[in-house]
Amino acid sequence: MTSKEPSKINSFYSRLAGWKTGRGTKYILFALLLVIFYASLAPNLLPQRFDIHVGAATDKDIIAPTQLPNNKATLQAQEEAAERVEAVYKIVSMHRDTVIAQMLERIESLNQDDQISSADKAQIYSQEIPDRIRNSVANFIRNQRESDNYSSQLLDEMQRTISNQTYSIPEETFLKIPRLSNADVQQISQVATSIVSRLMSDQIADAQSARARVAELVNTSSLESRTAREVAQELIRGVLTANKFYDEEATKAAKVEARENTPVVYVQQGEVIVPAGQVITQDMYTLLDENNLLKNEVNYWPQLGLFMLSFLLTLGVYLFIRQSAQRGMQYNNAQLLMLILIFVITVLAFHLVRILQIGNSPYFGYLVPAALGAMLITLLLDIHLAYVCSIILSVLASVILNMRQGEMFDYQFGLFTLVVSFAAIHSIHRASQRSTILKAGIMTCLFGAICVLTLVLLHDNEWTRMTVLYALGFTFVGGLLTTVLVLGLMPFFETTFGILSALKLIELSNPNHPLLRKLLIETPGTYHHSVMVGNLSEAAAEAIGANGLLCRVGSYYHDIGKTKRPGYFIENQNHMENPHDSIDPKLSKSIIIAHARDGVEMQKEYKLPKPIRDIAEQHHGTTFLYFFYQKALKQAEEQGVEPDFTEEDFRYAGPKAQTKEAAVVGIADSVEAAVRSLKQPTVEQVETMIEKIIKGRLDDHQFNDCDLTMKELDVIAQTLKEAVMGIFHSRIEYPEDVKKPDVKENKA
């Protein structure tokens, strides 16, 4: 490849960058995905429709294509359920024992007043006692209205019921009350309060039933005086009221709940709605019309339903991708187009197997390469997206491969697709070589067989020994077919869309890659440094659950920009003077900082994937070139001039590490450079140096844009300490006062 060829290719890809990130293009692609879902499901979900009329006879049986709700029968069942609901009553505690106790206190006080005659007292009692009873009820109802404890309708019912059941105390009772002694009144108070409390603790819908029990309870009480017993009976009867009232609102609500809880009456799938030759009645016609099974008028409801289902499936993908963007996982339009293409290929495979099913048996459906989409998405895009798409593909499979007459979905094929997809994802998500795909295919065979056996046991009456063997055989063939298709399609997707899969990373780590050969030949010191950084970063990344392979390969290319000016970096200065000693420190700074930008440009020319370029661009973040900054300050001081620069001028352009992998490579890069500068390093020196580097970057806020936790930084430090103990290469040790743990100085 000539030097012009990478430039032409780079120019072509630059022109394509617009559609890869355009919002309009993204919406168009999601619309395309919706159309694909609609077209895939339409042959199976749009129901058969009938051309019939009321009063005409049918020439063939009209069979329910699926479970159909019978609205008329459902309404009838709901009304019958509402009629069976009993009236609801509310129990209201009115504390009538308190009323009679207060009334007897008043009697005791008035009876002791010698200034009032017995006749006057009787007159007072005849007016005051009925008023007290009425007012106690009125006050209670008024307080309840203010507190909103009970509905207004219930309180009105209480007032009406109590008013209708009012007891009239005989006039002779009021004549007897003044003759009661103080002891009699006190004794009546104890007995009457107890009896009222006892009677009111029961549910009383009719106060008369409770009043009928008063005489018996009073006569068996401790009251000895006949007059006391007679007065007590009448006062108790007067105080007693109903406490159980009809609640019309609650009764209506119970009827509504009964209607709502009545199950829908269905015409079961496969059931004959209208036998051949029977005249169509209005009820039959209405049933078919309500379920959109008539041709006599244009009806787009089934199409709308299918559109909404397709929209929901598309929305699921859209929302997940949008949520992933918030977590820092960005999908460009090229990746979305690839996802759509994976869906198309998988759905086409479903339909091809469906053709084999027709005229054969349902178990032919197990030949489907159900895990194809899940494996491709896992390898090419993201494991989390693969799980979401597996659920969507299982829905598609349950519709496309459905062979059950009248059913919309066949959960067996949906479950089968979901099980083998999840098994494949789990087996392949850390694939580092092509043999892993074959292992994943074997796992899909095994878990597919387990799923089939599970379905056989659940529906034993639907299977014979031969059909079970056929189903298991097709399952294994389908698993192997999935492996072959994945192996064949992977190079196509990687080449066409520039995807960085694990297998692609393995290829990029080949030393014969043009950039790595250039690095080895022109900058052998940097090449050796990059290999060591790759070893360190891979170990640290795997220790915290990050992508170790990406760290290793990214490390190989992270300093590729140094090939433009190899002599200005310390690891390439064998037996030569350091050119930074004779040039302006600001120029030195520019040369050192430029290697990150130069590396990205070189990688773009050779079409290296963006995650690799991001590591090269971000591994230094915005760290500070302290050594050259101090040198520039000293130079300005010696010249007696005011510095025309700031610390910000001596920082890398960044950006800061956006991923764990970029942050890990940056730490490993500094650790390898710093530790190799130590002479005869000890464990304590290594450990101290690593802690200083990590703490320095942490204090410098270099990890603010990635999701590394403090615990993970501790794990990284421990892992790096164990890994670098084998590195004893000689490096120049800079003076202690100019060392910065997160800066590699000239080496950069």
pLDDT level of residue 10 (50, 70, 90 thresholds): very low
pTM for the whole structure: 0.53
Backbone angles phi and psi of 359, in degrees to 5: 85, -5
pLDDT level of residue 693 (50, 70, 90 thresholds): very high
In this structure, of 59-68, 143-152, 493-502, 579-588, the range with the lowest mean pLDDT score is: 59-68
In angstroms, the CA 598 to CA 434 distance is: 33
Q: What mean pLDDT, rounded, does the chain reach?
A: 83
177 membership: H or E segment, kind and range: none
Residue 731 has pLDDT above 50, yes or no: no
Which one is predicted more confidently, 187 or 357? 187
Residue 668 has pLDDT above 90, yes or no: yes
pLDDT level of residue 503 (50, 70, 90 thresholds): confident
273 membership: H or E segment, kind and range: strand 272-274
Nearest CA to 548 out of 719, 335, 370 is that of 719
Show the tokens assigned to 105. Answer: 């206190």
Nearest CA to 717 out of 709, 729, 728 is that of 709
Q: What is the pLDDT of residue 541?
A: 92
Q: What is the pLDDT of residue 287?
A: 81
Nearest CA to 659 out of 547, 535, 529 is that of 547
Show the tokens assigned to 612. Answer: 């690799």
Q: What is the pLDDT of residue 299?
A: 62
Q: What is the pLDDT of residue 326?
A: 64
Q: What is the mean pLDDT of residues 301-316?
A: 90
509-738 folds as Hypothetical protein af1432 (1.10.3210)
Beta strands in 59-217 (DSSP E): 62-63, 68-69, 89-91
CB contact set of 13 (below 8 Å; sequence gap of 6+): 604, 607
- The radius of gyration of the chain from alpha carbons, rounded to an integer in Å, stands at 44
Q: What is the mean pLDDT of residues 70-92?
A: 87
Q: What is the mean pLDDT of residues 557-566?
A: 88
Residue 456 has pLDDT above 70, yes or no: yes
Q: What is the mean pLDDT of residues 254-274?
A: 82
Q: What is the mean pLDDT of residues 507-534?
A: 89
Residue 224 has pLDDT above 50, yes or no: yes
In this structure, of 49-58, 265-274, 470-479, 489-498, the range with the lowest mean pLDDT score is: 265-274
Residue 694 has pLDDT above 70, yes or no: yes
Q: What is the pLDDT of residue 734?
A: 35
pLDDT level of residue 307 (50, 70, 90 thresholds): very high
pLDDT tens track for 380-422:
888 889 999 999 999 999 998 887 755 778 888 999 999 999 9
Q: What is the pLDDT of residue 2?
A: 45
Nearest CA to 373 out of 287, 485, 265 is that of 485
Residue 349 has pLDDT above 90, yes or no: yes
The percent of residues above 70 in pLDDT, for the chain, comes to: 89
Beta bridge partner(s), residue 50:
294
Could you tell me if 619 and 659 are in contact, meaning their C-beta atoms sit under 8 angstroms apart? no
Q: What is the pLDDT of residue 430?
A: 65
Q: What is the pLDDT of residue 344?
A: 95
Residue 329 has pLDDT above 90, yes or no: no
Could you tell me if 685 and 678 are in contact, meaning their C-beta atoms sit under 8 angstroms apart? yes
From-to residues of CATH 1.10.3210.10 in the chain: 509-738
Residue 654 has pLDDT above 70, yes or no: yes
Alpha helices, H only, 327-404: 333-357, 372-380, 383-400
Q: What is the pLDDT of residue 732?
A: 32
4-44+301-498 folds as Arp2/3 complex 21 kDa subunit ARPC3 (1.10.1760)
Q: What is the mean pLDDT of residues 666-693?
A: 84
pLDDT tens track for 626-643:
888 888 888 878 777 878
Q: What is the mean pLDDT of residues 106-116?
A: 87
Buried b (16+ CB within 10 A) or exposed e, 456-479: beeeeeebeeeebebbbebbbebb
Could you tell me if 412 and 443 are in contact, meaning their C-beta atoms sit under 8 angstroms apart? no
Q: What is the pLDDT of residue 12?
A: 46
In angstroms, the CA 671 to CA 637 distance is: 32
Which one is predicted more confidently, 487 or 748? 487
pLDDT level of residue 47 (50, 70, 90 thresholds): low
Degrees (nearest 5) of the Cα angle 402, 404, 406?
Answer: 110
Q: What is the pLDDT of residue 747?
A: 41
pLDDT level of residue 735 (50, 70, 90 thresholds): very low
SS3 349: helix
Backbone angles phi and psi of 91, in degrees to 5: -90, 125
How far from each other are the two terminal CA atoms of the chain, in whole angstroms? 31
What's the distance, CA 136 to chain centroid? Answer: 57
From-to residues of CATH 1.10.1760.20 in the chain: 4-44+301-498
Q: Which 8-state DSSP code applies to residue 278?
A: P
Q: What is the pLDDT of residue 38?
A: 92
pLDDT level of residue 328 (50, 70, 90 thresholds): low
Could you tell me if 666 and 697 are in contact, meaning their C-beta atoms sit under 8 angstroms apart? yes
Best-predicted range by mean pLDDT (19-28, 329-338, 361-370, 508-517) = 508-517
Q: What is the pLDDT of residue 16?
A: 47
